[in-house]
Copies of this chain bind each other. A is one copy, B any other.
Amino acid sequence: MTTHHFQPERYHTTIGWHEPVLRIAPGDTVVTTTVDAGGQDANEAQATPGGNPQTGPFFIEGAEPGDTLVVKIERITPNRPRGYATNVVSANVVDPEFVRELPPRRTVFWSVDVERGIVAAQDADGPLAKVQLPLAPMLGCFGVGPIGGQAISTATSAEHGGNMDYRAFAAGTTVYFPVFAPGALFHLGDGHATQGDGEIVGTGVEISCEVQFSVDLRKGKTIGWPRGETSDYIFTVGNARPLDQALQHATTEMIRWLCSDYGFDVETASSLLGQAVEYDVGNVFDPAYTMVCKVSKRVLAALS
């Protein structure tokens, strides 16, 4: 149950079977930092080239292919007062002909006030100047060593996690990853001070962070896709294009979960989901999109 304080010195823009930076044990906690998506640190100094650079990988002792890695996100704190975003929706989230009406893309800055819990556009004109959003820090991109020794760009996502940009990957959430590599090889980065569903401008409010997480292991428990748990929901994540396919992955994974852990069979799980499932949209900007399938713990509570 050690707490490790780890200061990264190098970063990866693929999630892969890279040399571990630290070996930790199930039960351990890590306090570390992440640079922003562009590779800048707490001082807005260029620490590494951009592209969602990842801190890690962390080698979890005892983790083997076929296990499940448990990551509890304990805290995500932006460690500087300014983040950045882009100013225009991505061409792939609007009607093709409407792309002709999009302005040029540029970077805009957002102030991030951790004390007051407020994120606001800097130098904004018009109605945007009046908008103040609640601080809602999250991890855009994190995951484990992918299937078959791959090294997959942090611009995308798959069974191993990656650039999922899901708002509920926030403090208090527990995430379950399928283990494909010895030691699991957990990477993390790409903090956002806040973000809308879908990351439709191609960024959240990108910012460097201090992050605290703890890990655990479910030996011999095999899952197919990332899963998670908040105070209110259990959820599964599918990463693919089109969104229809991401939804298929997430829904299938949820049925498997309900059948293996909650006493359902495919038919009763279907009946439950048909009348009670909820979906959230993660990233719809990257090569793979992200869809989340959720079931309320309130509904599940009735079962016990």
Contact = CB atoms under 8 A, between A and B. Distances in A.
Interface of A: 13-14, 16, 51, 85-103, 108, 110, 119, 121, 124-128, 130-133, 147-153, 194-205, 240-245, 247-249, 251-252, 255, 262-268, 270-281, 284, 287, 289, 299, 302-303
A90 B100 CA distance: 12
A23 B96 CA distance: 39
A101 B266 contact: yes
Given A14-B150, A127-B263, A200-B277, 11 more contacts: A13-B149, A51-B148, A89-B274, A91-B100, A99-B100, A124-B268, A128-B264, A131-B272, A132-B302, A152-B152, A198-B247
Contact of A251 (B89, B96, B243, B270): B89
Contacts of A51: 148
A201 B274 contact: yes
A252 B128 contact: no
* A interface, over-half SS: mixed
Contacts of A271: 85, 87, 108, 121, 124, 128, 201
B150 A251 contact: no
A121 B283 CA distance: 35
Nearest to A279: B281
A74 to B, nearest CB: 24
A274 B127 contact: no
Contact of A241 (B88, B245, B284): B245
A83 to B, nearest CB: 10
B266 A88 contact: yes
A254 to B, nearest CB: 10
Nearest to A97: B91
A96 B244 CA distance: 12
A7 B80 CA distance: 56
Given A100-B99, A251-B94, A268-B127, A85 B274 contact: yes
A243 B247 contact: yes
B93 A251 contact: yes
B14 A197 contact: no
A126 B93 CA distance: 35
